[in-house]
Amino acid sequence: MKTFFGAHCDDFFASCRLFLKLDLPLERETILHFFDRIRREIPTLRHFRRRDTNCLVLEEQDPDTRDNEPHRWLRLESQAMRFGYLAPPSPAAWQTYGNFVLEQAPFHLTINDLDLDHIDLVYGFDLEYNGNHDQLVAETFFADHPLTPLLLGDEAVHTIDCQPYFGIALSADCNTQAYVEIKGRTSSFEVRTGEYETQILSVYLTLRGYWTSTESASLSSTFTRLVNLANELAAQRVVPLVVNPLALAIASRS
């Protein structure tokens, strides 16, 4: 049963990216101690591997066997730490996981406020569609718009690139920001031949918080603040104004 925001799309995920000014200490002992602490709290997080990009990943399920089932992951790169939750069962489950990781990271990875650059919180809504993603987005959001003659005019045989990206500041100092992006994956080859594969059309909501020299909040409290903002924006703006119209448009073309 789909819960949280997953009820509005085919797949939903939440992730967080903590960007640092200095490289992380990716020594063997440091990483093993950190990942072991995470594993002792969440025993299912036990699949450890190194990717070709030289980042280190701890996952809840083997990537070769999972099938869009709920799972958590944690990744360390040279200048960032990332973690996420695919199909989280509830807002509380996602927030609890994120808070735990961010409470442990400063101690194990020697992170302090001088090192913090910004933190991104991302909600991803994936919708499966067999057809021209860009045409779908243009007809859904720009059918009655000043740009209609450009995107959907008589000379426009096909719309081949329509991926809106918006950003707003949520604070007067612009240190808290929100972005919404619609990301299609249709190729020109598919449009030209009319032969489409079912692919993912994504809507991304990103909350970004920049760290300032006067910032006194902890990482976990900042994460909680961004989660609350993201939940509110997703429920009141992104789902009803972006995700649901796309889902209805896809259903009408099925």
Q: Which fold has domain 4-252?
A: Double Stranded RNA Binding Domain (3.30.160)
The β-bridge partners of 177 are 169, 208
Question: Residue 6: its pLDDT value, please?
Answer: 87
**What residue ranges in the chain does DSSP mark as E strands?**
11-20, 47-50, 56-59, 71-76, 80-86, 116-129, 165-169, 176-183, 199-210
Asked if pLDDT for residue 63 goes beyond 70, the answer is no
Q: Are 119 and 16 in contact (CB under 8 A)?
A: yes
Mean local confidence (pLDDT), 210-230: 86
Q: Are 105 and 81 in contact (CB under 8 A)?
A: yes
| Lowest mean pLDDT across 119-133, 146-160, 192-206 | 146-160
The model's pLDDT over 1-48, given as tens digits with 9 standing for 90+, comes to 356 788 899 999 999 999 999 998 888 999 999 999 999 999 999 999
Q: Report residue 157 CA to chain centroid gap.
A: 33
The model's pLDDT over 129-148, given as tens digits with 9 standing for 90+, comes to 999 999 999 999 998 888 88
| Boundaries of every domain in the chain | 4-252
